[in-house]
Amino acid sequence: MVTIFLDVIWLFNFLFDFILLLITRIFIKANTSMKRISFGAFIASLIVPLTILYPHSFIATFLGKLIYSIIIVFSSFSVKSITSFFHTLFSFYFISFVIGGGLFGLHYLLHRPILLHANGMVTFQKAYGDPISWLFIFVSFPLIGYFTKRRLDKYTVEKVKFEYLYPVWITINGKQKRTLGYLDSGNQLIDPITKYPVIVCDEPFLKNWFTKEEWSYLASFAQTFQAETLPNNFKYQIHLIPYRGVTGTNELLLAIKPNEIIVEKAEQHMNYKNVFVGIQFSQLSQDGRFHCLLHPKLFQH
């Protein structure tokens, strides 16, 4: 004989649903109050007594659960259109599946004893249940929720970055190399004399045109600005572009005049000759995904 403490399971389910709805609100950036989230969590938690008292009712079917989830979304969020409603509904399911899968995956990894019921997750055994499994759920669930939010935020940022990446071909001294460039809307660097826009490329990419000795000379010139340290093959291609740094001080950026720059956008190749390539003596992206910061002026034509 198994004793079910309905109030404990109900409270646990309410907290579970509250955190799921809260993460969903953060994920879709919904403007809804905590009172409404709490009300939606209360509506969602009602499925516990309904399922236990009426295990074979309509609400236990697939269609019943779908209708019940729609009621939960309507109770928790403001619905302005059909599109926004389905976006919220699918986001709620996505968060539920991700966190639920993470919880079960972590449980499987740690081999914690959790009992499964046909209508949901139940962890009761001997009065208030197995204390280790209850402690595991209450501790791991917020951690998995936090980890899920962090990963979703990072995914959003990476998705935005990916949308602003463009293939770039740069030709210097007749040698052409391809890489990916990131459209940096904050890059407003222009040569004050020629009015040419300046893109910035990093060290791993620009080393394709220099030997180790030449790059060492170029790095020394960036520190001393003594012309004799410049590589002979590039003396007449190196330019100094004045700019204002983030600290407000006036600084000089080493730049090189390429033969040609090609940027691919929407399967179209845009060719530029009046552009400077600024030299960054480090890597621009940590994962090495892109090696150039493109100027917005390149996309105005």
Summarised one tens digit per residue, pLDDT across range 44-97 is 888 777 777 777 777 778 788 788 888 888 888 877 778 778 878 887 777 777
Q: Domain boundary at 96, 129, 161, which?
A: 161
Same domain, yes or no: 113 and 229: no
Same domain, yes or no: 23 and 104: yes
pTM: 0.51
How far is residue 92 from each of residues 58, 240, 244, measured CA to CA in Å? 22, 54, 46
Number of domains in the chain: 2
| Residue 55 DSSP code | T
- Report how far residue 118's alpha carbon sits from residue 120's, in angstroms, rounded to the nearest whole number: 6
Does residue 40 form part of some domain? yes
- Between CA 274 and CA 279, with CA 275 as vertex, the angle to 5 degrees is 150
- pLDDT surpasses 80 at 199: yes
Does residue 149 form part of some domain? yes
Does residue 257 form part of some domain? yes
Does residue 101 form part of some domain? yes
Query: For the chain, how are helix, strand and coil distributed in percent, rounded to 5?
Result: 50, 20, 30
Query: Which one from 17, 130, 153, 184 is the annotated catalytic residue?
Result: 184
Q: Domain boundary at 161, 190, 207, which?
A: 161
Same domain, yes or no: 17 and 153: yes
CA 207 distance to own-chain centroid: 30
Same domain, yes or no: 220 and 174: yes
DSSP assignment string, 107-169? HHHHT----EETTEE----STT--HHHHHHHHHHHHHHHHHHHHHHHHHHHHHHHHHTEEEEE
Same domain, yes or no: 79 and 120: yes
- Between CA 28 and CA 35, with CA 33 as vertex, the angle to 5 degrees is 130
The domain in which residue 102 lies consists of 6-161
**125: confidence class by pLDDT, cuts 50, 70, 90:** very low
142-190 residue pLDDT tens: 666 666 666 666 655 555 455 678 899 999 888 999 998 888 777 788 8
Q: Domain boundary at 142, 161, 180, which?
A: 161
How far is residue 96 from each of residues 16, 69, 81, 131, 148, measured CA to CA in Å? 10, 11, 23, 24, 11
Same domain, yes or no: 259 and 233: yes
Same domain, yes or no: 24 and 44: yes
Same domain, yes or no: 287 and 251: yes
Range with the poorest average pLDDT among 77-86, 139-148, 238-247, 256-265: 139-148
Does residue 1 form part of some domain? no
Edge-to-edge strand ranges of the sheet holding 292-294: 238-244, 250-256, 276-280, 198-202, 292-294, 175-183, 165-172, 260-265, 268-272
Same domain, yes or no: 131 and 205: no
How far is residue 101 from each of residues 22, 28, 45, 220, 276, measured CA to CA in Å? 18, 20, 20, 54, 50
Among all chains, which residue has been given the structure tokens 């391809």? 178
Same domain, yes or no: 81 and 137: yes
* Residue 241 tokens, joined: 């572009």
Same domain, yes or no: 153 and 180: no
> Taking Cα atoms as reference points, which of 261, 255, 262 lies closest to residue 192?
255
Q: How many CB atoms lie within 10 A of CB 91?
A: 19
Same domain, yes or no: 219 and 176: yes
130 included as an active-site residue = no
pLDDT for 126 equals: 45
